[in-house]
Amino acid sequence: MSAAAPSSALEAGAFRDRFRLPHGPEGHDALYLCGNSLGLQPIAAADAVAAELERWGNLGVAGHFDGPLAWMPYHRLCTDKLALIVGAKAEEVVAMNSLTVNLHLMMVSFYRPEGKRRRILIERGAFPSDRHAVSSQLALHGLDLEHDLVELAPRRDGLLHEEDIEDYLERYGDSVALVLWPGVQYATGQVFDMARIARACERAGVVLGLDLAHAVGNIPLNLHDWGVDFAVWCSYKYLNSGPGAVAGCFVHQRHANFDGPRLAGWWGHDEKSRFRMGPAFKAARGAEGWQLSNPPILAMAPLWASLDLFAEADIHALRRASLALTGHLASLLHERLDKAIQIITPLEPHRRGCQLSLKVRAGREAGRRLFERLEAHGVVADWREPDIIRVAPVPLYNTRAEVDAFVALVEKLL
């Protein structure tokens, strides 16, 4: 469990030499501020993959059962470390599939519309894959978007307010079957009070699922204690596990013996009798019961290698370093560029993670121009339509000096 264990101070960039840095112009290191999209490659990742290729070459099928890296239980190398990062018990967590696949698996089990209670509540402007997933789940149940998908709008400040979820659930909670909410909004970088949302869902008797794509490895989470029903995340952003990396899934312990509907596969079958090859499905206890296939070991090796760094650094120490680093970026932008740049991410520390989302006040075209010029000068950030530049200093590998250099460059280019 992720108790708020005291941990020693960590300087931003303390793990920089454990990562590979992409090249910028003229062979210099890029100014990489894009860990919110794709985290950097841990140097240990290549060794971890090479080790599995070796084991496959040397052992063949025996690799499934041989030694501490046996492929049969290989996914468990990740379990305890993931559990620490998301604040879960080991049996609540499993590394598998990809985010959207896991979201569908979860909704097949936990979105069970019945009678009047059939709506899904999401945020307006949700990441498209989430919206496609909930739309297709509604369609599978013969329901339609117009009546049964509720998209809660941001207020005039451009932000979503937890209070509005509470209000909606107080008024219409008996018509809602599922709230699917992000831990961190991908476009604005806003962090939500997930404990508060979980309490509102509990009062209304509504299932809560979280999309933690932008939260995992970014801010500490406490999924078990908050009482979230399920959560899904990808591992290629702050978890630095590579493009399309093996994702993760949390199912609360109270569903450990779930016997409702699920899409099943042999890897979710109880481990003790899996190889008796019987025709009947007996789910493994906990999150592992939702596994479908034997995991892709070569893809899982970088995840394990990267999680080791988190275990070493400690997610709470990383958060403290992140608050200081992103806080530094916010202050510099505010002091030196307030007339030109608007930060749309909320600035209260508990409402933001690593990422700041910026808009150029002069408008979209000026914003796009700035973004392209930054790119030409070796800054790696990203652009989200219509007019957002996202930058995320990541405390594992970004430094305060890089933040200074970024702001100085923006100043110069503007």
Residue ranges in contact with ligand PLP by CB under 6 A: 98-100, 127, 129-130, 182, 186, 211, 213-214, 234
Give dist(CA 232, CA 210) in Å, integer.
6
Q: Is 287 exposed, middle or buried (0-12, 13-18, 19+ CB in 10 A)?
A: buried
Query: Which CB sits closer to ligand PLP, 99 or 309?
Result: 99
CB of residue 264 to ligand PLP, shortest distance in Å: 21
Instruction: Count the neighbouring beta carbons within 10 Å of the beta carbon of residue 47.
Output: 13
Residue 193 vs 411, nearer CB to ligand PLP = 193
Given the complex with ligand PLP, which of 92 and 130 has the nearer CB atom?
130
Q: How far is the CB of 101 from ligand PLP (least distance, A)?
A: 7
Least distance to ligand PLP, CB of residue 65, Å = 31
If the CB atoms of residues 205 and 244 are measured against ligand PLP, the closer one turns out to be: 244
Residue number, 296 or 363, with CB nearest to ligand PLP: 296
Per-residue CA distances from 262 to 69, 101, 170 (Å):
29, 13, 30
Nearer to ligand PLP, 216 or 333 (CB): 216
CB of 130 to ligand PLP, least distance (A): 5
CB of 196 to ligand PLP, least distance (A): 20
Q: Which is nearer to ligand PLP, 42 or 182 (CB)?
A: 182
State the residue for tokens 């890029």.
30
Give me the least distance between CB of 184 and ligand PLP, in Å please.
Answer: 8
Residue 212 Cβ vs ligand PLP, minimum distance, rounded to whole Å: 8
Closer residue to ligand PLP (CB): 77 or 213: 213
Between 10 and 38, CB nearer to ligand PLP: 38
Q: Give me the least distance between CB of 26 and ligand PLP, in Å please.
A: 31
Q: How far is the CB of 127 from ligand PLP (least distance, A)?
A: 4
Q: Which residue is nearest to ligand PLP (CB)?
A: 100
